[in-house]
Amino acid sequence: MQREQEFNTIDDVFNLIRDELRDAEAAYTGYLQTNVSLIPKISEHIILSGGKRLRPALLILTMRMLGGAPGSGTALAAVIEFIHTATLLHDDVVDEADMRRGLAAANAIWGNEASVLVGDFLFSTAFDLAVDQRNIAILKALSSATRRLAEGEILELMRTADVDTTETDYRKIIEGKTAVLMAAACECGALLAGDDPGRQEKMRSYGLHAGMAFQIIDDILDYTSREEALGKSIGIDLEEGKLTLPLIRVLEQAAPAERERVRDIILADFVSPEDFSQVLDLIRKYRGIEFSTARATEHVEAARELLADMPASPYRGALDFLARYIVNRDR
């Protein structure tokens, strides 16, 4: 059996597929050249702003692990990154965000109309490129993932400021808005390698678990991180009335008076620093961060177990590291 390489940092993972990620970077800008100057301007602003490229990495690593030829994932890596970027442009409009990846959000510079429309362009370009693959299974994986993505985002909208949001509701929301696209990245990687349906399904499930863990950690970081580390404002979920797992845990456990207090804070237009620190105190009291981290860790372990049935290789080692990195990251 081939010895599995040690991965100590996320850069070791990216180095393993450095050439393919570099080709994908060239593809991002290449596919966006049009005479309509606002399109490259806005899309390059967000695409070249230092995203982690986790989804392209998931796709390429899965494909290589299952025997796909080097280079054959470039176009689909761009497809996945374009879909992701389109959703971020739309999401920042919905959330009225002013910061993304340490820069002003596109909507804050060019306005909502331009952000939504360039998001539409990226989304359509993604499907235009995906069709070129002439692979119905890949198209199906992408189209059903984006449908569920929109569904997740709409469910989140419906649950805004709803203190009765349950952990089950929350799981449905994050599965849709985040996990299904990571699942599709892995599924597409497996489909490109032409691997058997059993492994395709397992890798889809690996991506789903990784995505669930990723979003739970994202939601924890919104309470625990600092703006400079995260590249976006913190405390935003509370401000927007988004009930995420640390707070859902509090609401499940809190005394009636504490619940009322949280409810008032969520319903208010403005969350003062005092309000935020009161909520943080409750999260500490009811161990909301520890509870959520344990949930994320369960998903990471489930993802890692699925890799046990995959052929041993440095790519499998990298996917194993990526799953662990998701819970240990600070941005």
Packing angle between helix 38-47 and helix 112-131, nearest 10 degrees?
80
Give whichever of 95 and 298 is closer to Mg ion, judged by the CB atom: 95
Give whichever of 101 and 263 is closer to ligand FPP, judged by the CB atom: 101
Under rule CB under 6 A, residue 148 binds ligand FPP: no
Give whichever of 99 and 312 is closer to ligand FPP, judged by the CB atom: 99
**Cα–Cα separations (whole angstroms), residue 304 to 16, 155, 234, 293, 310:** 19, 29, 30, 16, 10
Cα of 160 vs its chain's centroid, Å: 20
**Cα–Cα separations (whole angstroms), residue 178 to 267, 283, 315:** 25, 24, 23
Residues near 168 by Cβ (< 8 Å), separated by ≥ 6?
Answer: none
Partner from Mg ion, ligand FPP, none binding residue 313, C-beta < 5-8 Å depending on class: none
Residues near 209 by Cβ (< 8 Å), separated by ≥ 6?
Answer: 179, 299, 300, 302, 303, 306, 323
How far is the C-alpha of 284 from the C-alpha of 21, rounded, in Å? 40
Other CB atoms within 10 A of residue 9 CB? 10
Give whichever of 90 and 204 is closer to Mg ion, judged by the CB atom: 90
Under rule CB under 6 A, residue 317 binds ligand FPP: no
Give the contact letters, 108-127, x = binds to ligand FPP (CB under 6 A), - = no. Answer: -----------x---x----
Under rule CB under 6 A, residue 79 binds ligand FPP: no
Q: Quick one: which of 57, 24, 31 has its CA closest to 122?
A: 31
Q: In the block, which residue shows the tokens 């409810």? A: 263
Cα of 54 vs its chain's centroid, Å: 8
How far is the C-alpha of 239 from the C-alpha of 160, rounded, in Å? 11
How many of the chain's residues bind ligand FPP (CB under 6 A)?
A: 16
Task: Give min distance, CB of 146 to ligand FPP, in A.
Answer: 5
- Specify whether the CB–CB gap between 81 and 28 falls below 8 A: yes
Under rule CB under 6 A, residue 86 binds ligand FPP: yes
- Given candidates 59, 65, 138, 149, which one binds ligand FPP under the rule CB under 6 A? 149
Task: Give min distance, CB of 154 to ligand FPP, in A.
Answer: 8
Task: Give min distance, CB of 91 to Mg ion, in A.
Answer: 4
Per CB under 5 A, which of residues 49..108 are in contact with Mg ion? 91, 95
- Given candidates 36, 69, 131, 150, which one binds ligand FPP under the rule CB under 6 A? 150
Give whichever of 109 and 312 is closer to ligand FPP, judged by the CB atom: 109
How many of the chain's residues bind Mg ion (CB under 5 A)?
A: 2
Helix/strand/coil for 284: helix
Helix/strand/coil for 104: strand
- Given candidates 87, 107, 115, 165, which one binds ligand FPP under the rule CB under 6 A? 87
Under rule CB under 6 A, residue 177 binds ligand FPP: yes
Partner from Mg ion, ligand FPP, none binding residue 123, C-beta < 5-8 Å depending on class: ligand FPP
Joined together, the tokens standing for residue 202 give 């397992």
49-57, 66-74, 146-154, 188-196 -> range binding ligand FPP (CB under 6 A): 146-154
Task: Give min distance, CB of 32 to ligand FPP, in A.
Answer: 16
- Given candidates 146, 165, 225, 313, which one binds ligand FPP under the rule CB under 6 A? 146
Q: In the block, which residue shows the tokens 């049935």? A: 309
Joined together, the tokens standing for residue 89 give 């442009």
Q: Which residues bind ligand FPP (CB under 6 A)?
A: 86-87, 90-91, 94-95, 97, 119, 123, 146, 149-150, 153, 177-178, 232
Q: What does the binding site for Mg ion look like in residue numbers (CB under 5 A)?
A: 91, 95
